[in-house]
Amino acid sequence: MIKVAIYEDNTQLRESLKELIDASDEFKVVANFPNCNNIIKDCEKFTPDVILLDIDMPGIKGIEGLKNLRIAGNIDVKVLMLTVFDDNKSIFDAIQYGANGYILKKTAPIKLLEHINDAYLGGSPMTSSVATQVLKMFSEAHNCHNDNYNLTSREREVLDYLVKGYSYKMIANDMFIAIDTVRSHIKKIYEKLHVNSKSEAVAKAFRDKLV
């Protein structure tokens, strides 16, 4: 069962999300909070697999909470940012700080559950309007680098799959290699790109036109 934590200051929405998630046999809400002021301690106590994290909350904002979590060394928990707006700056900041996905609050319930499962399996779910903003944002970026970071052709292929949102298992199936081999490639990609998460790797791949 996938353990989920919810950070959302709107009480009605937070309770609705909890009811939706708990109604499924595959998920369980282990904690829910109106702010992320104690997100590091919360994660240590409840050890969620996936976090639904509202961007705009009183006290510490969602993106700042995400940043604190990653700086503290927790890079394993999957974090899906929840927002009303699909603005470029919030998307970029969330990706920079290691968000695993970025979805709008108006996402249909069945799609939300799919996104949680996708993130848990290693994917990078985004609602379509957010994905469009991401593509637009990076296509308009002026910061273009020629450095290829000494990636091998195989590593570039794996990176391309990461950009497309494939999970480790999906990459292994498509490339006809073991999932441990995929992990080995991704570890080397992270080292060469000087990143710590899939989201950071994808952001750098777009920005530096590596794929």
Concatenated DSSP letters of 62-89: HHHHHHHHHHTT--SSEEEEEES---HH
- Computed over every residue of the chain, the mean pLDDT equals 88
For residue 31, what are the contacts with CB-CB under 8 A and spacing of at least 6? 5, 6, 42, 45, 46, 48
What tokens were used for 190?
A: 């992270």
From the centroid of its chain, how far is CA 162?
12
In the structure, what pLDDT confidence band is assigned to residue 128 with cuts at 50, 70 and 90? confident
Model pLDDT, residue 147: 61
Closest CA to 105 of 89, 121, 129: 129
Give the mean model confidence (pLDDT) for residues 177-182.
Answer: 94
Report domain extents, the chain: 2-138, 153-207
75 or 62: which leads in pLDDT: 62
DSSP state of 126: B
User: Please, how many CA atoms are within 13 Å of residue 123, restricted to the half-sphere of its CB?
Assistant: 15
Residue pLDDT, tens place only, 2-29:
999 999 999 999 999 999 999 999 999 9
For 2-138, CATH number out of 3.30.1490.20, 3.40.50.1370, 1.10.8.350, 3.40.50.2300 equals 3.40.50.2300
Considering only 98-112, 131-145, 156-170, which range has the smallest mean pLDDT?
A: 131-145
Model pLDDT, residue 98: 87
CATH class of 153-207: mainly alpha
Give the mean model confidence (pLDDT) for residues 178-196.
Answer: 92
Q: What is d(CA 128, CA 201) in angstroms, rounded to the nearest whole number?
A: 20
21 burial (CB, 10 Å; 0-12 / 13-18 / 19+) is buried
